[in-house]
Amino acid sequence: MYLPMRQPVEGGVTLADRLQSRGVSRREFLDFCGRLAVVLGLGELAGPRLAHALQSVQRPSVIWIQLQECTGCVESVLRTVEPTIGNLVLDTVSLDYSHTIMAAAGHQAEAALQKAMKDNAGKYLLIVTGSVPLADGGVYTTIGGRTAKAVLEEAAQGAAAIVAVGACAHWGSVQAARPNPTGAVGVSEVIKDKPVINVTGCPPIGDVVTATVAHFLTFNRLPATDSDGRPLFAYGKRIHDQCPRRAHFDAGQYVEVFDDENARKGWCLYHVGCKGPATFSPCPIFQWNGGTSWPIGAGHPCIGCTERNFWDTMTPFYDRLPDVGGFGVERTVDIFGAALAIGATAGVAAHAVATGIHQARERRKLPVLPDDAGTPPTAPGKEE
């Protein structure tokens, strides 16, 4: 896909100019690009290419719309470390619309949005947080008197690409949990004619969002994804395979009750409900808030928030994943994870949300593994 976004603008102020004027040396800038390249899974050698792309252009326009959501994803991006939100907004992109931090309100805010869409038609990157409530004509979320669906459709029209940030924009998340009273769906259920990438999670790690944006700005295209639209550089690996507590799992050393002796030794959380074996996520690698920790690192089981329909398929959160097929425990969770990957690869059926609801009704009866049509896996209500 060719996106004419990288065209240098005559006489424009570039990132290099801006950084230099702020006393950031070229060496520091290259170091930053090198780290960013590693984050993106491109290898450090891609750093110079990244540097070249980032410093040769005017700031590209980014429009961020917020639909039916909790603002947690915006907060997560506010915590990013590389680049920081301050650098992102002032130096890297031109954030032309952002409900949470923009100065203007009401008509002035809407005018800013209209102008950005017109001036950058076909070129701007659209970030979407929140789901789209489709029930009852869309009355469950309106902005400026218009439905979330109408706002999204208009903003998508001139977008070069769309980054759906968070589980809500991905598939609806908590408001789409059974029985989904407002008919909430993700962006890709509404927008079919544009590339949509799902930086999922509840919320996603802010650095994954900024890394995805940087990838787009650098290479004129969105990063490669799995069949559920999630970027592979972040969601390509299963938590269970990256978990620092994996050795305890392999050795059969488990926390049986929170705060027991085993918990104080940092053993595996599988028996208290960890969904790491069924979850593809960047958490163990990226970690949270500048590498400070991550959920399992702080002693709580993973709740599987990067997986579609996790509010129904991963609950009750403290119940153990299904012991399918009567194999050994380790084999079992590996098979479960592999089956999940196959399910995801097969693609998600168009009616996945409805199917998920249907399956959620059945979920307490028996464990269900994903089928070839990509129906999300369903955890059992009770173990054994």
Partner 1 sequence: MAATRVVVDPITRIEGHLRIEAQAEAGRITNAWAHSTQFRGIEIIMQGRDPRDAWAFTQRICGVCTVVHAVASCRAVEDALDITIPPNANLIRNLIHGMQFIQDHVIHFYHLHALDWVDVVSALGADPAGTARIARSISPWPNNSETHFRAVQDRLKQFVAGGQLGIFTNGYWGHPAYKLPPEVNLLAVAHYLEALDWQRDVIRVHTIFGGKNPHPNFLVGGMASAINLDGTATINTEKLVDIQGMIRRARTFVEQVYWPDLVAIAGFYKDWAAIGGGVPNFLAVGEFPEGDVRDLERLYFPRGIILDKDLSRVHPYDHKLVKEYITSSWYRYSGGDGAGLHPWEGETEPVYSGPKPPYEYLQDQKKYTWMKAPRYEGKPMQVGPLARMLVAYGSGHAEVKELVGAALSTLNVGPAALFSTLGRTAARGIETVLLARRMEVWFGQLIERIKSGDTRTFDGAKWEPSSWPRSAQGYGYLDAPRGALGHWVQIEDAKISRYQCVVPSTWNCSPRDGEGQLGPYEAALTDNHPLLKPDEPLEILRTIHSFDPCMSCGVHVLDATGAPIVEVKVQ
Minimum Å distance from CB 102 to partner 1? Answer: 5
Minimum Å distance from CB 104 to partner 1? Answer: 4
Cβ contact 210:32 at 8 Å: no
Residue whose CB is less far from partner 1, 143 or 342: 143
C-alpha dihedral (54, 6, 17, 208), degrees to nearest 10: -30
Please, what is the Cα angle at 254 between 248 and 258, to 5 degrees?
A: 130
Minimum Å distance from CB 173 to partner 1? Answer: 7
User: What residues does 54 pair with on adjacent strands?
Assistant: none
Residue whose CB is less far from partner 1, 45 or 111: 111
Strands 146-147 and 196-199: unpaired
Structure tokens, 61:
């326009």
Residue whose CB is less far from partner 1, 75 or 241: 75
Element (DSSP H or E) covering residue 163? strand 159-165
Residue whose CB is less far from partner 1, 273 or 370: 273
Minimum Å distance from CB 296 to partner 1? Answer: 7
Between the alpha carbon of residue 197 and those of residues 4, 170, 187, 265, the distances in Å are 19, 8, 10, 39
Residue whose CB is less far from partner 1, 120 or 225: 120
C-alpha dihedral (60, 5, 119, 71), degrees to nearest 10: -40
Residue whose CB is less far from partner 1, 258 or 327: 258
Structure tokens, 179:
């029985």
Q: Could you tell me the maximum CA-CA distance found in the chain, to the nearest angstrom?
A: 68
Minimum Å distance from CB 143 to partner 1? Answer: 5
Minimum Å distance from CB 38 to partner 1? Answer: 21
